[in-house]
A = this chain, B = another copy of it.
């Protein structure tokens, strides 16, 4: 007989992993429209909130390391969404700034969150259910960071 604690359905992590993947997949059609990916969307969210960021600020906010972000930002630069300028004061730094193209995307993107909620929510799953789990997730995140 299998150990109860090793059953797939008893793994909280598997639920988080699956829910995360499925929601990102649900976002996919919207991102395809904009020609971006989910992690690229996260970078844009950060920059739309405050432009001209040093890479360390972005890694801090998103929680991804430079070994993931550097190539990602290089792709976004190639796509014309951002520019990666050498820092003037500290030349080790890179200032990431939105291009006109990158700024324009915000107007198209602002509808995405509500569209996503329309996709996910129904009689069984209320907005209150989603907001209810946020504190627990924040708790896990804070504790593991």
Copies, count? 2
Chain A contact residues: helix, strand, loop or mixed: helix
Q: Does A145 contact B (CB under 8 A)?
A: yes
A24 touches B17 (CB 8 A): yes
A13 with B27, Cβ < 8 A, contacts A49-B8, A120-B144, A133-B136 known = yes
B42 touches A113 (CB 8 A): no
A3 touches B106 (CB 8 A): yes
Q: Does A34 contact B (CB under 8 A)?
A: no
Interface size band for A: 35 or more
A15 touches B138 (CB 8 A): yes
A62 touches B6 (CB 8 A): no
